[in-house]
Structure 1
Amino acid sequence: MTPHLQHPLYFVLGEHDDLFQKGGFFSSANPIKLKVPLSFFDSDQISFTYPDSMPSFNIPWMERGKPYLKPFHSQVFTKDEITEVVQTYGVPGDRWKVDEAWRYERFIEAQIWDVRPIEKFLQT
């Protein structure tokens, strides 16, 4: 991957309205939703972590994280690879609300490394 940005822009793959609810991560900001189809991105313009990057990379190193450890933690996936991961494990959805083993898998994070696909999408 050859990033076009020094730091990625962070998005969520699919829907995750909990981020926007009162008390959610973005509830005090003025976030917007932008639904850009994955087809706008080449494989070197986007990467993914399942779940979001912070728990994905922290769980394996935390003693209390061991019961929650999944095979996809601490990995960054390409567009093709995340498709395989979702086929195997499904999308996080609301499983975290009812299954303690999935408490950290709330959404899949997308890291955008090139703004040109977003600009192209906004022009359509």
Structure 2
Amino acid sequence: MDENIVWHNYAISKSQRSEQKKHKPAILWFTGFSGSGKSTVANALESALNQLGVHTYLLDGDNVRHGLCKDLSFTDEDRVENIRRVGETAKLMVDAGLVVLTAFISPFQSERDMVRNLVED
């Protein structure tokens, strides 16, 4: 990475954002085969959480492929990059204090572990 790119610390901490929203941020990762109901279940859960006052956002695999990841194909390499991008996006949303629901095929354990490690940092 370029040495001119530095991490900036923010005046508002993750814990302050969490306290403001009155819930702990998290990622709920729904995975499974195409057509298995990931998006349907995630959408229903998001609706229920929203009614409870939880600040949520749903990242859906098909929707993300229309924008953030529209340049990617379905090769193993691009599937990994797709999940990496989603993981980075979800991490930003968790840092903002949201409960992020994701619905992705994500066939490789290694990529799910990558996201888990990314968020734990």
TM range (shorter): under 0.3
Under a length normalisation based on structure 2, what TM-score does the superposition of the two structures give? 0.26
Return the structure number with greater helix share: 2
Under a length normalisation based on structure 1, what TM-score does the superposition of the two structures give? 0.25
